[in-house]
Amino acid sequence: MKKRKILTVVLASLLAVAGALDAPAAHSAEPSVKVLDTTATIADPGWFVSAYNAGFRLYVMHSTAWGTCTPWDRTQTQLKMALDAGLRIAVYTRNPECWEGGIEATGPYREQLEFFALDVELGEPPITRNMVDGVRDMGVRPIVYGIHTHWPLIMGDSSEFSDLPLWDGDFHDFDYAHWTPDLLSPAPVSYGGWNVPGNMRVGVQQKLGQDIGGIQVDLNSFNPDFLR
């Protein structure tokens, strides 16, 4: 009887270990990637080199003149400096209706864009399928930028765009000197069909207005598997 009990305990322990191995990990096996976005004018190529050396791997910029759909005359210059420093690049426009001007602004660097982000923001029009199709027709990968508190005010309870990757926004304050990128911080909130099992966000904007080398940037964490 004692041998049977011992065997039962050992078998139960082995099954528990196997179950733990099969359970999904709370974090990706790959560490999150540091990403910065900014609307700033950056004149020094060395700034991008410093950003790369600090661990950033993607530079996202606003590519039209603020408040307009007119391509910004700094866009191609700054994209080139970022690429020369080893960074990947992507663009967005605050008004999602400016998607065409935003992509045209990138000129010869269009094919190197990681994505164009359709911005869902208070005070701006909602995104549409025509915008998504238009971005794709220009050969660029579309994603959605959204915030769980803003989404229902602009898009209602729509989950129509959950087939697109989500660049989430969920801000908190932290000491940049001790920042380690983490796609799961803060904990993802479900909305728009995202942040549910099998359809998590690919990036999250975590802090606004961080000064890095005299330039104000926003800090983000992205899934490395999403970047090409």
pLDDT of residue 19: 37
Write the DSSP string, 158-225: --TTTTS-EEEE------GGG----TTSSPP--BTTBSBTTB--SEEEEEEEEEETTEEEEEEEE-TT
Torsion sign (Cα): 46, 52, 56, 58: positive
User: Whole-angstrom Cα distance, residue 219 to residue 55?
Assistant: 12
Q: Classify the C-alpha dihedral 168-171-176-181 as positive or negative.
A: negative
pTM: 0.87
In this prediction, residue 80 has a pLDDT band, given cuts at 50, 70 and 90, of very high
Task: Give the mean pLDDT of 210-228.
Answer: 97
Pair type for strands 56-62 and 88-93: parallel
Q: In the prediction, which pLDDT does 30 show? A: 67
| C-alpha distance from residue 120 to each of 31, 72, 93, 148 (Å) | 27, 21, 10, 10
**Range scoring the smallest mean pLDDT among 28-37, 77-86, 110-119, 150-159:** 28-37
Mean pLDDT of 125-145: 98
In the structure, what pLDDT confidence band is assigned to residue 127 with cuts at 50, 70 and 90?
A: very high
DSSP state of 48: H
Q: How far is CA 4 from the centre of its chain?
A: 55
The CA distance from 86 to 51, in Å, is 10
3-state DSSP helix/strand/coil % of the chain, to nearest 5:
30, 25, 40
Percent with pLDDT over 70 in the chain: 87
Cross-strand partners of 166: 144
Whether residue 129 is predicted with pLDDT greater than 90 in this model: the reply is yes
**Distance of alpha carbon 170 from alpha carbon 188, whole angstroms:** 8
Mind listing the pLDDT tens digit for each residue in 91-106? 999 999 999 999 999 9
Residue with tokens 């728009």: 192
pLDDT in tens, 162-198: 999 999 999 999 999 999 999 999 999 999 999 999 9
Which candidate, 165, 149, 171, 148, places its Cα nearest to that of 219? Answer: 171
Indicate the Cα dihedral angle 171, 172, 174, 176, nearest 10°: 0
Which of 6-10, 46-50, 62-66, 83-87 has the weakest average pLDDT? 6-10
11-43 pLDDT, tens digit per residue, is 344 333 333 333 333 344 469 999 999 999 999
